[in-house]
Amino acid sequence: MAKIGLYFGSFNPVHIGHMAIAGYMTEFAGLDQVWLVVSPHNPLKKKETLLTDHHRYYMAELAIGDNDRLKVTDIEFKLPLPSYTIDTLTYLKEKYHKNEFCLVMGEDNLNTLHKWKNAVELVSKYPIYVYPRPYSEKPSSFHLDQILLTADIHHIDAPLMEISGTFIRNGIKNGKDMSYFLPAPVWKYIKEMHFYEK
């Protein structure tokens, strides 16, 4: 039985921070694989800031290359919108019942669990591997506290990553060379397609 971490995100674009975290989870956190789950629409984010689904998926594939411990999946493109993590996990568990799934998320996302659909069911079934995020503060919420009490949480001592998609998109828009923040094939594709320039 493979232990697979599901790393959900818009990956808009996928950057070296994402790759470092995914790699850390396979090398240091005991996960056999990490799957990047490219989300068509996060209910908590504005959709108009997203590149087209297939471009974000393709860039994630470019970033992974031939690393067999990482995988990109478009499973959420085929499920009803908006995407909810619990629904995706239910589908994956039925489809790949021999695998053990867990969640990979930043500390900032952990602190929003009380806003997630069926959060209590989610944490009762799936362990959560949490990497640190700078300036992440836990809100004062009784509901969140109750959810976290029952969750199987693994805090992973991964390096702090302050790189964000917003930072990269804004840099490109302002004509900056952002190549050092992106896997080389992803940067090449972004330049060829003129993404994020306007």
Considering the domain 3-163 in this protein, what is its CATH number?
3.40.50.620
Q: Show the tokens assigned to 187.
A: 């940067």
Cα distance between residue 46 and residue 27, in whole Å: 33
Radius of gyration of the CA atoms of the chain, in A: 17
Q: What is the DSSP string of 13-33?
A: T--HHHHHHHHHHHHHS--SE
Q: Show the tokens assigned to 190.
A: 């972004």
Which residue is associated with the tokens 């944490």? 123
Q: Show the tokens assigned to 39.
A: 């989300």
Q: Show the tokens assigned to 171.
A: 């840099």
Q: Show the tokens assigned to 3.
A: 């232990």
Tens of pLDDT, residue by residue, the chain (198 residues): 899 999 999 999 999 999 999 999 999 999 999 999 999 876 666 666 789 999 999 999 999 999 999 999 999 999 998 889 999 999 999 999 999 999 999 999 999 999 999 999 999 999 999 999 887 888 889 999 999 999 999 999 998 888 999 999 999 999 999 999 999 999 999 999 999 998
